[in-house]
Chain A
Amino acid sequence: QKEVEQNSGPLSVPEGAIASLNCTYSDRGSQSFFWYRQYSGKSPELIMSIYSNGDKEDGRFTAQLNKASQYVSLLIRDSQPSDSATYLCAVNTGGGYNKLIFGAGTRLAVHP
């Protein structure tokens, strides 16, 4: 069974620090990877997508992908209390279809 694993947290970081969120996946055929942010009681919001090995930066967010290690991460620089949310890792199952497998999410708490 194809799986996506995340540490449930909570990951607690001080304001201004770098938050590092990690995700591993089991399907070696996966080619597309997404990070979603979900505030309590709200829907998942897409914040990053990454398709190639290496780093992809967008503002304070950097996604990192290592397909050989089946590992994808999200770094949040200069963390703010407003970044406190659950971060969901989603991996495309491959095979040419747009079907995502989600991790259970990591809860991030940024404290002032």
Chain B
Amino acid sequence: ETGVTQTPRHLVMGMTNKKSLKCEQHLGHNAMYWYKQSAKKPLELMFVYNFKEQTENNSVPSRFSPECPNSSHLFLHLHTLQPEDSALYLCASSQEMGREGQPQHFGDGTRLSIL
């Protein structure tokens, strides 16, 4: 059982489509994260939100647009993606960004394939 839920689990889209990934955490955390995981590469941090405010954008292309309406929900809006964007997108949460040492808990991810 995971306290972080991601939908959809799988997504196939064309390069001109617009879609959104959703993440919801039930752990009472205040920080939420988006990561990209490509084959044989380390997890890449994309965005961080702390108490609904974006605190980190790790030089992510503008075709990825995050949204955090509250501390429990996080979205990643996708548009005009490229084939190299195909990857596993993971959402994570922790108590808060400003407290070092808090473990991050991950959702099951969305496997994204760009045609």
A42 within 8 A of B: yes
Residues of A within 8 A of B40 (CB): 8, 104
Which of the candidate stretches A12-20, A69-77, A91-99 sits at the interface with the other chain? A91-99
B90 close to A42 (CB less than 8 A): no
Residues of B within 8 A of A82 (CB): none
Number of A-B contacts (CB under 8 A): 63
Task: Tell me the B99-115 residues at the A interface (CB within 8 Å).
Answer: 99-109, 111
| A-contact 0/1 string along B87-106, CB 8 Å cutoff | 00010001111111111111
B48 close to A31 (CB less than 8 A): no
Question: In this complex, what residue of B is CB-closest to A41?
Answer: B111
Question: In this complex, what residue of A is CB-closest to B4?
Answer: A43
Question: In this complex, what residue of B is CB-closest to A96?
Answer: B100
Task: Tell me the A9-62 residues at the B interface (CB within 8 Å).
Answer: 31-32, 34, 36, 41-46, 49, 51
Task: Give the size of the chain B interface in residues (CB under 8 angstroms).
Answer: 27
Residues of B within 8 A of A94 (CB): 100
Task: Tell me the B63-107 residues at the A interface (CB within 8 Å).
Answer: 90, 94-107
With A51-B101, A104-B40 known as contacts, the answer to whether A44 contacts B106 (CB < 8 A) is: yes
The 14 sampled A-B contact pairs (Cβ below 8 Å) are A4-B42, A31-B101, A32-B100, A34-B103, A43-B108, A44-B106, A49-B101, A51-B101, A92-B100, A97-B97, A98-B96, A98-B102, A99-B97, A104-B40
